[in-house]
């Protein structure tokens, strides 16, 4: 897995940034506080959202100061598939809430819900935000995170990374299921015991015999109720007959009362009608008086205008004879004239307002252009100043650097002229190889001569000892005369010759050794010349770039000066246009005053005409009111006559009803009804007692039958519970076996991983740490870490020095990384290894070892490593470099991908 591109907007100290990443080792470098770590934090935030924020930090803290929202967009490739994730945080000043959006684009879909995105990212990465920190992202100041974690936390972290946490989850689920099965089994046992107790209780009640006794008594009670029902029917018939006759008399009484009530009401309404007739007569008289007043008002208004509404208005009575044509024509003409004048006024006002706005806009435009002219002049001066500065400082510095490099090249090549042998520049390697071969041959010859001399010395020494003992130095036998020493002299002479050859050879070896040093110096000289040449080419390229920059700045200065001149001319033109519009507006304002006076005159004439029109409307309304009042008076008189006739009819009907009512017959019928009613009450009371007894017996019979049904149900339930209990017992046994299997499998896998992880940890720690004080590192199954010294003592990792802890933590993280790579057979995502200031606690020796560690991780399949560092050695080893700088005037950071050759030349 590799990051390919990162885009930022208003992310902390970055205003706008768009970076591309490549495979291999990418080093981010720059001064402290420039924003190097901030780039890595953006990648972390893109993947895991707010989970990536450090404790105590909120979402709005990441937005650039002065801005209200940020955007972070990250592209990455996993398993040859490209993904894009986009996040936005908004903190609008008008709201008390902070909003966040996310969009995760895959080849097949786009996800916008935070929960879905987190699930997708964690499934691809195979780690959550916490696991990413513990394995892939070594954050600044967090180098010893795994060391300081407790064994339990360290175990959880590594288990999650190695996917062992799933087995724990499965076991927890299995334990939950096992507890549920055991609880269900025990509940069924308790329920079965309860059911068996209820069955025993029901069987003791002899329910069949009790049911037969209740049925016999119920039959006797039902017969008695039927007899009482017959007597009750006879009594009800007698009561109903008397009651029907009484109801007939009651109806006549009710009708008499109703007729009497209607008669009183009819008399009241007749009185009301008489009063209304009187009121309507008064209203008609008032309407006639109002009509005369309205007629006089029309005459007064007519005198104030020059129009006619008829030949002789004083004799008019019917409003339909009034002629309004001339009045309506005059009103329409005035309204048209008034509308036209108001439209003219509106147009004049709009024109005046537009001209005033345009004049102000022209003046503002002139001011704006003048300001732009001043700004362009300032920019022109600034560009000229910067061009001169680059010419006198940067360009001069690079030219001096190029001259120094040329001098260094010539000085270095001069070493070949001073060499003891004639060696051409470029032949240093061949010369060194030849000297090395000659030196090797001479050394071998020296070894051979030394061995021969030593052998002769032993032989001579042995022969001399034999002579001293009176023996022959050649055969070792005792002799009477002097021993022969011819061969001994030959050996002594040969030894002297060999020693002379050895002395000459040693002189030659000394000379060759000196030449070997010279060859190495010449090789280094050729390497230095190559380096100087590359630097000289880079400086030459840089000089060309600086000259191009000077030319661009010079051209920019001229362009800005030309722009300032054009802006000044345009500002004068806009000022003249503003003055011209102001004069035209003053003339239009005088015209507007005259038109408004004309409107006042027209409106006065229109008002007088409207008063006449209103007076005519009032006259017509008054005439209609008088006609209406006359019609209402006629209607009221008709109503009065109708109500008088109704009073007469009701009086006659009341007399007829009074004569038909017999009070003695009514009294006799009431006594008969009362006697029948008393008999009915007695029969009902007796029947109710019997009915209550029947209901009680029926209910009791139902209870007995219910208990018999319960008994059958409980017996069936007991059988079912016995079957379920057997099934649950079998399930508990199976779940216990599976649970034990999960537990053993997790411990077996953890033991295997811990053992291999311990081997990797020792191997990697030995690779990056140069110290013979430590024998090995122990990692037990509980993830307890112990450092064993060669002296036999043991240490906790917390007891190591700061640098040692940093190296130890890097080794542990990389060991986990290697275990992931090998354990999942390359299918693990292996995200980029991100190291933020890993060299803070390291000396120069171990910085070099850090490069070896990074290279080892690359060989394991870590396609991308991103390192933030100040170490020059780490920077020089990078495949790609990103330089981060910050503008001190704005505190805004910039990041730029550098050329490795260009960086080496500068």
Bind-site residues for ATP: 12, 32-38, 140
Give the whole-angstrom CA distance, residue 588 versus residue 582: 10
- Asked if residues 815 and 760 have their Cβ atoms less than 8 Å apart, the reply is yes
Could you list the residues known to form a binding site, using ranges.
Answer: 12, 32-38, 140, 472, 475
- Three-class DSSP category at 71: strand
- Asked if residues 359 and 585 have their Cβ atoms less than 8 Å apart, the reply is yes
Could you list the residues known to form a binding site for Zn(2+), using ranges.
Answer: 472, 475
- Asked if residues 647 and 270 have their Cβ atoms less than 8 Å apart, the reply is yes
Token pair for residue 563? 């722009």
Token pair for residue 820? 């992931």
Give the whole-angstrom CA distance, residue 362 versus residue 374: 18
Residue 391 per-residue DSSP state: I
Residue 390 per-residue DSSP state: I
Token pair for residue 384? 């000229």
Which residue is it, tokens 């991908």?
Answer: 897
- Three-class DSSP category at 822: helix
Give the whole-angstrom CA distance, residue 79 versus residue 863: 12
Give the whole-angstrom CA distance, residue 797 versus residue 777: 10
Give the whole-angstrom CA distance, residue 430 versus residue 424: 10
Token pair for residue 779? 């990692």
Run of H or E including 495: helix 486-658
Residue 337 CB: number of other CB atoms within 10 A? 17
| Contacts (Cβ under 8 Å, ≥6 apart) of 279 | none
Residue 563 CB: number of other CB atoms within 10 A? 17
Whole-Å CA distances, 336 to 9, 252, 324, 595, 891: 63, 79, 18, 15, 70
Token pair for residue 418? 């001073």
List of long-range contacts for 589-592, beta carbons under 8 Å, 24+ apart: 589/352, 591/348, 592/345, 592/348, 592/349, 592/352
User: DSSP readout, 23-47?
Assistant: SEEEEEE-STTSSHHHHHHHHHHHH
Give the whole-angstrom CA distance, residue 486 versus residue 477: 16
The rounded Cα 59 to chain-centroid distance in angstroms is 10
Q: How far apart are the first and last CA of the chain?
A: 33
Q: Is 24 exposed, middle or buried (0-12, 13-18, 19+ CB in 10 A)?
A: middle
Give the whole-angstrom CA distance, residue 791 versus residue 769: 18
Which residue is it, tokens 């049925």?
Answer: 215
Residue 804: HSE in the Cβ half-sphere, 13 Å Cα cutoff = 14
- Asked if residues 504 and 497 have their Cβ atoms less than 8 Å apart, the reply is no
Give the whole-angstrom CA distance, residue 798 versus residue 230: 109
Closest among 12, 293, 10, 27 to 900, alpha carbons compared: 27
Q: Is 193 exposed, middle or buried (0-12, 13-18, 19+ CB in 10 A)?
A: exposed
Residue-wise over 359-373: b if at least 16 C-beta within 10 A, else e? beebbebbeebbebb
Give the whole-angstrom CA distance, residue 10 versus residue 15: 4
Which residue is it, tokens 């907007």?
Answer: 9
List of long-range contacts for 597-600, beta carbons under 8 Å, 24+ apart: 598/341, 599/338, 599/341, 599/342, 599/345
């Amino acid at each position: 897995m590799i990051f390919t591109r990162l885009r930022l907007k208003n992310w902390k100290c970055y205003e706008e940034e768009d970076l591309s990443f490549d495979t291999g080792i990418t080093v981010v470098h720059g001064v402290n506080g420039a924003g190097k770590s901030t780039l890595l934090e953006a990648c972390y935030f893109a993947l895991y959202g707010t989970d990536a924020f450090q404790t105590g930090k909120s979402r709005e803290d990441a937005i650039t100061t002065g801005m209200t929202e940020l955007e972070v967009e990250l592209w990455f490739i996993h398993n040859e598939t490209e993904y894009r994730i986009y996040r936005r945080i908004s903190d609008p000043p008008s709201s008390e809430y902070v909003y966040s959006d996310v969009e995760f684009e895959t080849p097949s879909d786009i996800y916008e819900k935070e929960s879905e995105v987190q699930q997708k990212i964690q499934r691809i990465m195979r780690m959550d935000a916490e696991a990413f920190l513990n394995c892939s992202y070594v954050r600044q100041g967090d180098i010893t995170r795994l060391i300081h974690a407790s064994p339990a936390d360290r175990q959880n972290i590594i288990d999650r990374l190695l996917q062992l946490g799933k087995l724990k989850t499965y076991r927890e689920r299995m334990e939950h299921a096992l507890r549920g099965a055991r609880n269900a089994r025990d509940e069924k046992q308790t329920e079965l015991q309860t059911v068996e107790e209820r069955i025993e209780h029901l069987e003791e009640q002899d329910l069949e015999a009790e049911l037969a006794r209740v049925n016999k008594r119920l039959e006797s009670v039902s017969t008695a109720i039927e007899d009482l029902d017959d007597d009750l029917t006879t009594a009800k018939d007698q009561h109903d007959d008397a009651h029907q006759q009484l109801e007939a008399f009651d109806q006549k009484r009710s009708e008499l009362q109703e007729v009497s009530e209607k008669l009183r009401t009819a008399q009241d309404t007749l009185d009301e009608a008489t009063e209304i007739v009187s009121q309507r007569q008064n209203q008609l008289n008032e309407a006639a008086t109002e009509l005369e007043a309205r007629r006089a008002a029309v005459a007064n208004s007519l005198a104030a205008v020059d129009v006619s509404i008829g030949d002789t208005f004083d004799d008019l009575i019917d409003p339909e004879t009034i002629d309004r044509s001339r009045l309506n024509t005059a009103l329409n003409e005035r309204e048209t004239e008034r509308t036209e004048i108001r439209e003219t006024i509106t147009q004049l006002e709009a024109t005046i307002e537009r001209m005033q706005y345009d004049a102000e806009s022209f003046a503002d435009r002139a001011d704006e252009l003048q300001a732009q002219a001043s700004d362009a002049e300032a920019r022109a001066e600034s560009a000229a100043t910067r061009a001169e500065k680059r010419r006198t400082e940067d360009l001069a510095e690079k030219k001096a650097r190029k001259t120094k490099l040329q001098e260094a090249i010539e000085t270095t090549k001069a070493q070949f002229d001073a060499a003891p042998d004639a060696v051409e520049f470029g032949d240093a390697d061949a010369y060194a190889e030849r000297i090395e071969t000659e030196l090797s041959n001479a050394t071998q010859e020296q070894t051979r001569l030394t061995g021969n001399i030593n052998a002769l010395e032993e032989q001579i020494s042995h022969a001399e000892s034999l002579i001293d003992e009176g023996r022959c130095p050649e055969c070792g036998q005792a002799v009477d005369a002097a021993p022969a020493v011819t061969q001994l002299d030959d050996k002594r002479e040969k030894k002297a010759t060999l020693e002379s050859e050895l002395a000459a050879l040693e002189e030659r070896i000394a000379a060759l050794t000196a030449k070997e040093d010279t060859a190495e110096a010449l090789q280094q000289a050729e390497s230095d010349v190559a380096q100087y040449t590359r630097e000289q080419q880079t400086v030459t390229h840089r000089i060309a770039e600086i000259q191009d920059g000077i030319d661009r700045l010079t051209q920019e200065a001229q362009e800005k000066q030309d722009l300032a001149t054009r802006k000044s001319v345009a500002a004068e033109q806009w000022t003249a246009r503003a003055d011209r519009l102001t004069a035209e507006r003053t003339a239009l304002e005088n015209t507007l005053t005259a038109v408004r006076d004309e409107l006042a005159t027209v409106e006065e004439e229109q008002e007088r005409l409207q008063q006449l029109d209103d007076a005519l409307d009032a006259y017509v309304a008054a005439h209609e009111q008088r006609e209406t009042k006359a019609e209402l008076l006629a209607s009221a008189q008709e109503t009065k006559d109708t109500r008088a006739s109704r009073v007469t009819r009701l009086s006659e009907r009341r007399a007829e009803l009074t004569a038909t009512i017999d009070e003695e017959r009514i009294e006799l019928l009431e006594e008969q009804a009362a006697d029948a009613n008393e008999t009915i009450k007695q029969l009902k009371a007796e029947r109710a007692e019997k009915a209550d007894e029947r209901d009680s017996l029926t209910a009791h019979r139902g209870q007995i039958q219910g208990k018999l049904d319960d008994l059958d149900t409980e017996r069936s339930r007991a059988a079912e519970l016995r079957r379920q209990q057997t099934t649950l017992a079998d399930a508990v046994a199976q779940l216990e076996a599976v649970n034990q299997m999960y537990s053993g499998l997790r411990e077996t896998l953890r033991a295997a991983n811990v053992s291999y992880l311990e081997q990797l940890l020792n191997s990697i720690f030995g690779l990056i740490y140069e110290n013979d004080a430590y024998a090995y590192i122990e990692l037990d199954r509980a993830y307890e870490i112990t450092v064993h010294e060669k002296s036999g003592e043991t240490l906790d990792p917390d007891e190591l020095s700061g640098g040692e802890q940093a190296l130890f933590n890097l080794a542990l993280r990389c060991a986990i990384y290697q275990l992931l790579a090998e354990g999942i057979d390359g299918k693990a995502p292996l995200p980029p290894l991100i190291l933020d200031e890993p060299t803070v606690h390291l000396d120069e020796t171990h910085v070099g070892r850090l490069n070896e560690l990074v290279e080892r991780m690359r060989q394991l399949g870590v396609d991308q490593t991103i390192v933030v560092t100040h170490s020059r050695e780490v920077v020089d080893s990078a495949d790609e470099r990103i330089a981060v700088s910050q503008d001190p005037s704005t505190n805004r950071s910039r990041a730029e991908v550098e050329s490795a050759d260009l960086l080496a030349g500068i």
